[in-house]
Chain A
Amino acid sequence: MKQTEDGDALSQEGATPQPVLSDPERWVDLHGDYLFKFALARLRDRAKAEDAVQETFLAALKFGKTFQGRSAEQSWLVGILKNKIHDHYRKANRETSFTDLEFYSDEENNRFVAGGWIHKLGPQEWPNHGESSDNEVFWKTYRGCLSKLPKNVATVFNLREVDGLESKEICALLDISENNLWVMLHRARMALRRCLETNWFQKS
């Protein structure tokens, strides 16, 4: 099998048993839902998420040789999908400016006087916030808050907080300055914090 020979050439330890990929025809059934959910959470568009999944499988078929079994098949596919999603961000970025100017101008100014919190509008104590994670309604509220962020701001927030990319990587990917990135992250946290406080912690 050609794939095995190439795999041996790439592998640093010749004695390692060769990893086996499952039959590509079964990929869609095995991993389709997982990859679709992953793509949809980031692209927020069903058609684009479907396309990204298809491109991922096709690329996997083409580059199947690079699979070395260091990661499970699914993580290997997710790695390819991430690249496809990043390509999409790059493309979207060429078409429109990545920075959302309207959101950018929101400074929660009405909550401050002379740079200090107006006390009754400042952050409140969040009672029992450790227990929120057991509650499905909490997660629904959180997802609702996230969906209210402008798409670009949510993208930046997820790249940083969920995917754990470093500032420099995000700036290179989206072609924005670091200061611009930090302002967007600050605004995203500010808006999410306020939304959760209003819609969850002050209600429960």
Chain B
Amino acid sequence: MKSLIKVIRALSPNCKESIRLQSDALDRPLRLFQRIGLRVHLALCIWCSRYGKQIKFLRSTAQHCEHDHGPEQKLPSEASERIKRALKDAND
């Protein structure tokens, strides 16, 4: 049993490597051996599994924030007037 754990450890990434791989997986396809190693690690590690779910949640949060929950920002009226003048000058 002990030697089996040793073999698994040797083949799969540690936590630090695993969180980097989970981040990379959101931006590029992983290599086959990386995918297998990561899957083995995640089956055994609740912390890294949570990490992966949480960075996926961050992705959807970033998109929602931009589209529905950004702070209200208005173009200041001076800027608005200035731009209107610039447009008018360019159009004439």
Measured CB to CB, the nearest residue on chain B to A107 is: B16
Chain B nearest CB from A172 CB (Å) reads: 15
Q: Which of A107-140 contact B (CB under 8 A)?
A: 107, 112, 114-117, 119, 122-126, 129, 133, 136, 139
* B side interface size, CB within 8 A: 45
The answer for the CA separation of A41 and B26 in the assembled complex, in Å, is 23
Contact present for B47 and A193 (CB under 8 Å): no
Q: Answer yes or no: A25 CB below 8 A from chain B CBs.
A: yes
Write out the residue numbers on chain B whose beta carbons fall within 8 Å of the beta carbon of A178: 28
Q: Answer yes or no: A36 CB below 8 A from chain B CBs.
A: yes
The answer for the CA separation of A53 and B76 in the assembled complex, in Å, is 12
Contact present for B87 and A142 (CB under 8 Å): no
Write out the residue numbers on chain A whose beta carbons fall within 8 Å of the beta carbon of B90: 58, 61-62
The answer for the CA separation of A115 and B86 in the assembled complex, in Å, is 58
Contact present for B15 and A115 (CB under 8 Å): yes
Contact present for B66 and A119 (CB under 8 Å): no
Contact present for A167 and B75 (CB under 8 Å): no
**Known contacts A36-B73, A36-B75, A139-B69; is-contact A189 B24 (Cβ 8 Å):** no
Contact present for A27 and B76 (CB under 8 Å): no
Measured CB to CB, the nearest residue on chain B to A162 is: B66
Question: In the complex, how many residue pairs between chain A and chain B have their CB atoms under 8 Å apart?
Answer: 135
SS of A interface (majority): helix
Chain A nearest CB from B5 CB (Å) reads: 13
Q: Which of B1-49 contact A (CB under 8 A)?
A: 14-17, 19-20, 23-24, 26-28, 45, 47-48
Chain A nearest CB from B91 CB (Å) reads: 6
Per a CB cutoff under 8 Å, which of A37, A107, A114, A189 touches B73?
Answer: A37
Q: Which of A77-94 contact B (CB under 8 A)?
A: none
Per a CB cutoff under 8 Å, which of A28, A54, A58, A167 touches B27?
Answer: A167
Contact present for A24 and B87 (CB under 8 Å): yes
22 examples of A-B residue contacts, CB within 8 angstroms? A24-B87, A28-B75, A36-B73, A36-B74, A37-B73, A53-B75, A58-B86, A61-B90, A61-B91, A115-B15, A115-B17, A117-B47, A122-B15, A133-B69, A142-B69, A146-B65, A162-B63, A181-B27, A185-B27, A186-B24, A193-B51, A197-B54
* 9 smallest beta-carbon distances between A and B, as pairs: A115-B14, A122-B47, A36-B75, A139-B69, A161-B62, A186-B23, A123-B50, A32-B75, A37-B73
